[in-house]
Every structure is written in C-alpha cells, then in structure tokens.
Amino acid sequence: MVLLFAFEFVEGNTITRLYFMRLRRLSVEALRQGHFTAELKEVREEPVPTFTHFLDLPILMLIVSLGALRPDTWLHFLVGSAVALTVATVLTLALPRLYTSDPVMAVLKPGQT
C-alpha cells in the first residue's frame, strides 16, 4: 500500500503535472493565435500522460480498499491492480475520441451537423 502511494505521488508530480503545465502553456499560445496549433494537437494526442491521469482514481481506490479491508492474500492487490490498469486503459482509449479540436464541433450537440 505504501509503495502504491509512493508510485502515485511520484507519477502525479512528474508525468501528469509536467504534461498539464506544458498543455496549459500551449493552450494559452493557441488562444492567443485564435486556433489550435500543430504542437498543441500533438501534445493532446500523447497517450502516456493521459493514461497516468486516468490511473489516479483507480489506484487511489485500490489503496483505500487495501487499507480498509486488510486482505490476507495478494489476490486483492493483484485483481485491484488489474482492474485499475484496465479502467485507465479504457478511459485513455475512449475519452479523447469524445473531444474534438474543432471548436465548432465542440459547440454542436451530438447529432447536429
């Protein structure tokens, strides 16, 4: 449990934080120019920071469940880790497709053209 917390702390303060700081800088620049820049589009498509971002809550839930249930075997840890990785993978693959870099398409409701 302590190792999971340490991993989560280090990952959250390195990969995820650095990514969102860079994303903020590029977003401000794109806003200044009035359109999405090529560099911003590239950064938004990076899978590793998105994956680590979506891994935060499932890992936290695993840490809490390990502390609350205090299992006797490693099965809870292994199954919980597999579920956390699966949830983060599904969110990484599914959610970015919901968001578009086209501001007009982002305003339209589903089904409108």
Please tell me the distance from the alpha carbon of residue 87 to that of residue 51, in angstroms, as a whole number: 10
**Cβ 23 vs Cβ 44: under 8 Å:** yes
Question: Mean pLDDT across the stretch 69-95?
Answer: 94
Q: Which two tokens stand for residue 59?
A: 């890992």
pLDDT of residue 112: 52
Please tell me the distance from the alpha carbon of residue 88 to that of residue 110, in angstroms, as a whole number: 25
The pLDDT confidence band at residue 100, using thresholds 50, 70 and 90, is low
Termini Cα distance of the chain: 49
The pLDDT confidence band at residue 88, using thresholds 50, 70 and 90, is very high
Pinpoint the alpha helices (H) of the chain.
2-11, 17-33, 38-44, 47-69, 75-94, 103-107
pLDDT of residue 96: 65
pTM over the 0.75 mark: no
Question: Mean pLDDT across the stretch 7-17?
Answer: 86
